[in-house]
Chains A and B, each alone.
Chain A
Amino acid sequence: MAPIVSIKNLSKTYDGGHQALRDVSLDIEEGEILALLGPNGAGKTTLISSICGLVSPSRGKITVGGFDVIDDYRKCRALIGLVPQEIVLEPFETVFRTVSFSRGLFGKPRNPALIENILGQLSLLDKRNSALNQLSGGMKRRVLIAKALSHEPRVLFLDEPTAGVDVELRKSMWAIVRELKRSGVTIILTTHYIEEAEAIADRIGIISDGQLVLAEDKAALMGRLGSKQMRIDLQTPLEQVPDALEKYELQRTEDGSALTFTYDTQGDRTGITALLNDLGSEGIRIRDVQTSQSSLEDIFVDLVKEKS
């Protein structure tokens, strides 16, 4: 199946000379939830804005649903809903009117029943005639989502949907996102909360300094997370790892004073008992043992450091 969003060699340099995106290529499959992770200023918002038509790319090509974002911008944008990072709403308008306005902008005829249905899903129905400046921050965020959904988009972009939002509201936002996925909407969200990406994404993309460092299935990434390391400090340094221990793929420190064993905690057998037995029969004496687990955060920090 062709990807719903396809980005090829996208670069963006702003007028001031700041290069926000460097040669980003990414395919997004229909129906998935992709989380774009990255520190502030990494280029997440520029990437989303380029797809949605708010920023003109300097180089590269983007298609949504097969339509080019520039040549076929009408057909392309009709498929997209965008929830911006900042809460921007007409303060004196009512909820219902501002959501209906969005639907009209996207060329769809009036449909009060559908708008009420969307407001209901987002627990905003009883606020439909309230002025926007009377709503709480969390409600305003949901109004922005309602606006983005008002024209029944196939792809929804959520730019930092839970930035500055309390824990309870964050959880309810995640529930909304999962519900939207069930209704068949493809969701791309940016976040700098690793926990958020872990909780709701199918796939995780990491952006740093304008480059897409990684885009990987969350399960695969979690697999990498599932592995642990055991560091074995030795009484006497080893010149080289004995052949009998080759199957454990041990890593020897430079001075030979320690060995590192990587194992999978998810597997039936970790191989630790066997390794310790074999070390004993090789006459290698152990001084200390410590284990550690790399988190998504470690992977993230390593990748970001590597690139910069």
Chain B
Amino acid sequence: MNLQAVKAIYVFEMSRTFRTLLQSIVSPVISTSLYFVVFGAAIGSRIQEVDGVSYGAFIVPGLIMLTVLTQSVTNAAFGIYFPKFIGTIFELMSAPISFLEIVLGYVGAAATKALAIGLIILVTATFFVDLHIEHPVWMLVFLVLTCISFSLFGFIVGIWAQNFEQLQLIPLLVITPLVFLGGSFYSINMLPPVWQTVTLFNPVVYLISGFRWSFFGNADINVGISVAMIFLFLSLCLGIIWWIFKTGYRIKT
């Protein structure tokens, strides 16, 4: 394996993050802080506890997931779409590297960025609410696995997209609704029974539920199922990427 190449891609991508610090890190942190102010402090103070947790604290895992999911997908999609768009992808295709190194470099950088943003938001949250994390190791496992799987998903979106509109389509029209409807701001037990069943088809529900379990020790859904769902999604993305690698879909003529 060409580790130098993985490092080169990773460093190059990360340097873009630092060059665009305001856009890539500061802005998601500010927008999440706004959620804390509006939902956590202003509205949350009038809402009773959910599952024995203050509402301000209850929404923290959901808010982190909302940002981490969007950032993973957007970063990874943009990371591979941009070279495709401006044409510099020729260099990746003519270098002595396999698709594996390309994926490791781009997905690694996107996941790192998303993880960093997730952790920064977590720290920011402690300024607004009292947080106690029940299972810190599991919290990290959930966070890291989510960053990796959704960066893989974003990479697929970036390969698939043929214009900027398609690039925006998935994060805006798929990820954001799924996260909002996946229990970021409420427990799914608060929904009418029919909607509870419908919600179970939303994969993000399992992510948020598992992640929330690592914070507060209780969850809407059995945590084992949550872990299984993450691995299922991860394998699905790996499978699609393997297929793209095999067929050269939208990258090779």
Contacts and interface: CB of A to CB of B under 8 A. Distances in A.
Contacts of B11: 101, 104
B92 interface: yes
Given A101-B12, A102-B91, A56 B253 contact: yes
B94 interface: yes
Given A77-B96, A90-B86, A14 B253 contact: yes
Interface in A102-140: 102-109
A203 B127 CA distance: 72
Interface residues of A, number: 35
Interface string B190-218: 00000000000000000000000000000
A41 interface: no
B51 to A, nearest CB: 47
A104 B91 contact: no
Given A14-B253, A101-B12, A106 B88 contact: no
Contacts of A15: 253
Interface residues of B, number: 27
Contacts of B253: 14-15, 54-56
Interface string B85-122: 01110111111110000000000000000000000000
B132 interface: no
Interface string A36-69: 0000000000000000111110000000000000
Contact of B7 (A52, A84, A104): A104
Given A15-B253, A75-B96, A88 B90 contact: yes
A89 B9 contact: no
A106 B86 contact: no
B92 A105 contact: yes
Interface in B1-60: 2, 4-5, 7-9, 11-12, 15-16, 19
B95 A77 contact: yes
A88 B94 contact: no
B252 interface: yes
A74 B4 CA distance: 13
B248 interface: yes
Contact of B94 (A56, A80, A91, A92): A80
Interface of B: 2, 4-5, 7-9, 11-12, 15-16, 19, 82-83, 86-88, 90-97, 248, 252-253
Q: List the 3 closest A-B pairs by CB distance, nearest first.
A: A104-B8, A88-B87, A74-B96
Given A88-B88, A90-B82, A102-B91, 20 more contacts: A52-B94, A53-B94, A54-B253, A56-B248, A56-B252, A74-B96, A82-B91, A84-B87, A88-B87, A90-B86, A92-B16, A93-B12, A97-B15, A101-B8, A101-B11, A104-B7, A105-B92, A105-B97, A106-B95, A107-B97
16 contacts: A14-B253, A15-B253, A56-B248, A77-B95, A84-B90, A89-B88, A90-B82, A90-B83, A97-B15, A105-B4, A105-B92, A106-B5, A107-B4, A107-B5, A108-B4, A147-B91
